[in-house]
Amino acid sequence: MSVVSVRYSSSRTLAVSLLAAFVAVGCAGSGSNASAPGSDASSPASSAATSGQNAGKAGTPNASAPDAGARRSTAELRAEQTPGFVRMQFDVLRLTALYDGRVDIDAKQLKNASANSIAQLLRQGKQPAKGAVQTSVNAFLLDDGKGNIVLVDTGSADTMGENAGHLHKALAASGYRAEDVTAILLTHLHPDHAGGLLKDGALAFPNAQVYAAKQEADFWLSESIAQAAPEANRVYFAGAVKAVTPYQASGRFHTFTSGKLPIEGFDAVALHGHTPGHTGFMVSSGSEKLLLWGDVVHSHTTQFANPAISLEFDNDLRMARAARIKVLRESARNGQWIAGAHMPFPGVGRVVTQGTGYRWVPLDFAQAMSAAEKRQP
């Protein structure tokens, strides 16, 4: 796995490290190792010569070519991806973006705008105007170098199908263990954020203290509210209870209200609407600020251009819309970094104004490398 270290020049130096994620595995599987039995595997020239002699001779098998089964195996291997993570440094704080996978949103679930305008925005973003619109599921690990290793959201584990639930693979690939995590901050208790609290029914993060907004916990962990909910929605209440209960039993689940958290450098920011207690986390390190905004945006293709667009499954569409409009306006004005749970991986970037809406500017590693080169003595 290759490592590229760069530096980004802004108001303060932002050191960025890109640890290459999504690298196709098995790339070396078709070189000299594919030579025929008995040939000198250490001599590429020998294999090349044999291949050249046999080329163009009808009925003459190429001794260096793998059989059909081997070709299928190689193709299957290359179709897989390595676990995804991207690491960057904010002053003394290290951020690692972790790719849990992807989920699909039905385009019909996008509301508060005409179907034609939504379809046009989706087509402009090269996404299907009908049917499934893919969105990433990201989580974020923050390490202050002092023993505090904080995970914001936990991914989905086995709750969202086979295309998600890969956070632990990404975490291990990044060099961390689940046992290293000292605290978990949950933006909300939906399964793609809290489902990863458990692994095989046990604590997935045995040394972590878990925090969620009181308003969020009071809603999703309430038996009476669950019973009054539409039957189709009760699975979400049951999932939240299942994920949290083992941590409650071990005294590791805590609630908070907006404002200061018992973790140095982290503030809770109320972003209610998507869920009753949906919360973002503002992190300060040196002169840099980073807002981990959870599910403020699900469809970057449509909701930046028209922040009024909401999702059908927002608990309160009006509140969710107001929270999104406010945070987009503030983020564009102050230039703070954003880490979004459903932004295209790695989900880190900035917001700028564009016309009557906004535009997402993802972290640009080429620009960061160029800036770093200019700063070399």
The pTM of the full predicted model, rounded to 2 decimals, is 0.77
pLDDT band at 365 (very low <50, low <70, confident <90, very high): low
Q: Is the pLDDT of residue 14 over 60?
A: no
| Domain residue spans of the chain | 82-374
Overall average pLDDT of the 126-155 stretch = 91
In the prediction, which pLDDT does 69 show?
A: 53
Structure tokens at 269: 């920011």
Q: Which CATH number fits domain 82-374: 3.30.720.110, 3.40.1390.40, 3.40.50.1100, 3.60.15.10?
A: 3.60.15.10
Q: Is the pLDDT of residue 18 over 70?
A: no
Query: Which residue spans within the chain are E strands per DSSP?
Result: 3-9, 13-19, 85-90, 93-106, 110-111, 132-143, 149-152, 183-185, 198-199, 202-203, 209-213, 253-256, 259-260, 266-270, 279-285, 288-294, 310-311, 337-340, 348-354, 357-362
In the prediction, which pLDDT does 158 show?
A: 87
In the prediction, which pLDDT does 126 show?
A: 86
Q: What is the pLDDT of residues 265-309, one digit of tens each?
A: 899 999 999 999 999 999 988 888 999 999 999 999 999 999 999
Name, in order, each residue with C-beta under 8 angstroms of 154's C-beta and a sequence gap of 6 or more.
Answer: 139, 167, 184, 186, 193, 194, 195, 196, 197, 204, 205
In the prediction, which pLDDT does 83 show?
A: 67
Q: What is the pLDDT of residues 21-60, one digit of tens each?
A: 333 333 333 333 333 333 333 333 333 333 333 333 334 3
In the prediction, which pLDDT does 63 show?
A: 44
- Residue pair 278/314 in contact (Cβ under 8 Å)? The answer is no
% pLDDT > 70, the chain: 75
The residue among 161 and 46 whose pLDDT is bigger is 161
The residue among 55 and 174 whose pLDDT is bigger is 174
Report which listed range, 16-20, 23-27, 110-114, 130-134, is most confident.
110-114
- Residue pair 133/299 in contact (Cβ under 8 Å)? The answer is yes
pLDDT band at 183 (very low <50, low <70, confident <90, very high): very high
Q: What is the pLDDT of residues 206-224, one digit of tens each?
A: 999 999 999 999 999 999 9
Overall average pLDDT of the 165-186 stretch = 96
- The answer to which of 2-16, 107-121, 174-188 has the lowest mean pLDDT is 2-16
Which residue do the tokens 């990404």 mark?
Answer: 170
SS3 57: coil
In the prediction, which pLDDT does 22 show?
A: 32
pLDDT band at 17 (very low <50, low <70, confident <90, very high): very low
Overall average pLDDT of the 335-352 stretch = 96
Structure tokens at 154: 């936990």
